[in-house]
Chains A and B, each alone.
Chain A
Amino acid sequence: MKILGRKYLLLNILLIICLFLIGGCKPEHRFVKKTAFKDTNKIVIEFAGPVDETWAKNRSNYTACEKPDPDIRLKIIDVSLSADKKKATLVFADDLNKNQPHVVTATKISSEGKSLGTAILNVKKFYLGYLFSILIGAMIINNFVFTKYLGLCVFFGVSQKKSTAVGMGITFTLVIVASAMMSWFIYQFVLQPYRLDFLQIVVFIGLVSLSVQAVDTILRKVNPLLFKAFGVYLVLVIANCIIIAVPLILADNEYNAWESLMLSLGAGLGFLIALFLMSSVRERLELANVPPTYRGLPIAFVLAGLFALSFLGFSGMSIF
């Protein structure tokens, strides 16, 4: 029973999160095990069982496109099937842009004479570098504060002192990761299967308030010292649009579990960076001689504009 004790609570929670992350990376159809890019112009689809050769070899059973432009069909010139009939390789006429996720539709998969329905498959480059680029992208290149202009109310509210800025940033990062993962889970396993997508705003905002309340309660019991330091910021977290924007973006882009984790972490850390930069400058500003009409918010806005301009320099940058 010792493993269920309080000491191991955190470990158990982490374990559960890991399990659920691994579970979250499955492809979308029960008969498809894996999809992956191969060479420069091939996509490999691995099936759970042998498929019929006549079906698999027919090019018209597959359509493929890049996710952002579903209208542009990519031309498939050949399909080959492996000896055990479990692996189909689609060969494309042109080289694929592997930085974009691709959508492959396999119509009416047929295995041993039975039809198994149509599969819509997302093919993505899956390696750590890709996840890392999502993280850096959300953190710096597409910083939510300076390039997407979200969360400004809280941003201007708490960036007066460095200590409060850091406290707010850390609290916010913790809460956003927790709530984004929860919303991802609910969206993928409840809202989407039951076609309740239209409820996403109501559900997400409810989840966010819930997770803020949960963090509040847990922190109060587990670590009162930490609660004393960060408790005040918890109320503000909910007034931040980023915390509701991230689940909406996750739902729109249909990210998988790891990508969602990286995006939410990047959003939180990006907010922390923005707050820290801004508060450092605003602390200096206290000593400066600012014209009376600009004192307070107006000069903060002009400052944020300068930051935004410099962050514009990152735009279009891609890592790996």
Chain B
Amino acid sequence: MPATTKTNFQLVSNGILNDNPIFRLALSMCPAVGISTTVMNGIMLGIAVLFVQVFSSCTIALIKDHIHPRIRIPTYTLTIATWVTVIDLVLAAYMPAAYKEMGIFVKLIVAFAIITMRLEVFACKNSVPASFWDGIGMGLGFMAGMVAIGFVRELLGMGTILGYDVLGFRPLLFFVLPAAGFFCVGIMMAMFNYMELVYNRKKKG
């Protein structure tokens, strides 16, 4: 892929819609299933991923000319690991409650395929500003996916949104169960597919 010609806005919207990490690329599914029980969790982990993605994209875009192609993957991994350590320590120091809620998943950002993939596909071929916007788009896309799943699960499972009581009763307690994450993601993916199908049919006329 040659250097991108897209505008910054296109880069961001690409991450949120066309290449949504969770629903379209189907990468980094573990947190999407594991801790998407509430909207707040989704936002917190989304912010963490956003930071790691943006910082490591920028770092790689900065030093891309000095990386030997044969050792590029270890370089990416170490860069990501460094930024994850930073985020991990910052969260543990300033937001201990949220950090405890997310458990091991903050540390596991290091193994999220989406970040490595963006570095490999985008950041190592593009300038720093473009990589920055691409990182923002991907991070926001991930956050949007997490929030969407969290919204459904929190509303159906506990009848609340962000902790505020909306429905006043608990429609389907089942959705609080961790296993419901799989169902939720599966059904939402199917909905995305359906929307695409309808959209394409309309386009054809």
Contact = CB atoms under 8 A, between A and B. Distances in A.
Given A149-B30, A149-B34, A312-B179, A201 B88 contact: yes
Given A244-B111, A293-B197, A299 B27 contact: no
A201 B104 CA distance: 11
A241 B189 contact: no
Given A153-B28, A293-B193, A298-B190, A201 B81 contact: yes
Given A293-B193, A298-B187, A298-B189, A239 B111 contact: yes
Given A147-B178, A148-B34, A239-B113, A292 B197 contact: yes
A153 B21 CA distance: 12
Contacts of B108: 150, 241, 244-245, 248
A156 B89 contact: no
B186 interface: yes
Interface of A: 146-153, 156, 198-199, 201-202, 205-206, 209, 239-241, 243-245, 248-249, 252, 291-294, 297-302, 304-305, 308-309, 311-312
B85 A202 contact: yes
Between B73, B104, B112, B197, the greatest number of chain A beta carbons within 10 A of the residue's beta carbon is seen for B104
Contacts of A298: 186-187, 189-190, 193
Contacts of B74: 206, 209
A92 B151 CA distance: 49
B189 A198 contact: no
Contacts of A309: 177, 179
Contacts of B82: 202
Interface residues of B, number: 40
B152 interface: no
B29 A152 contact: yes
B104 A301 contact: no
B107 interface: yes
B176 to A, nearest CB: 12
Contacts of B29: 152-153, 156
Nearest to A292: B197
B77 to A, nearest CB: 6
Which of A152, A248, A308, A309 has the most chain B CB atoms closer than 10 A to its own CB? A152
Interface string B76-108: 011001101100110000000000000010011
If over half of B's interface residues share one DSSP class (helix, strand or loop), that class is named, otherwise mixed; here it is: helix
- Interface SS of A by simple majority: helix
Contact of B110 (A152, A205, A301): A205
Given A202-B81, A293-B197, A294-B190, A304 B182 contact: yes
Nearest to A147: B178
A305 B179 CA distance: 5
Given A201-B85, A202-B82, A301-B189, A240 B111 contact: yes
Interface string B154-197: 00000000000000000000000111111101110111011001
A198 B178 CA distance: 30
B182 A301 contact: yes
B182 to A, nearest CB: 3
B33 interface: yes
A152 B111 CA distance: 11
B26 interface: yes
Interface string B110-142: 111100000000000000000000000000000
Given A152-B29, A202-B85, A239-B113, 9 more contacts: A153-B29, A156-B26, A156-B29, A198-B85, A205-B110, A248-B107, A293-B193, A298-B193, A305-B179
B81 A308 contact: no
Given A302-B182, A305-B179, A201 B34 contact: no
A206 B179 contact: no
A317 B31 CA distance: 25
Nearest to B183: A305
Contact of B187 (A150, A244, A302): A302
A308 B89 contact: no
A152 B186 CA distance: 13
B189 to A, nearest CB: 4
Contacts of A294: 186, 190, 193
Contacts of A199: 85
Given A198-B85, A248-B107, A249-B104, A305 B180 contact: yes
Q: Select the residue from A198, A240, A241, A249 with max chain B CB neighbours within 10 A.
A: A241
Contact of B107 (A201, A240, A299, A308): A201
7 contacts: A150-B108, A201-B110, A244-B110, A291-B190, A298-B190, A305-B179, A305-B181
A153 B27 contact: yes
What 5 A-B pairs are tightest by C-beta distance, nearest first? Answer: A301-B186, A305-B182, A149-B34, A308-B179, A298-B190
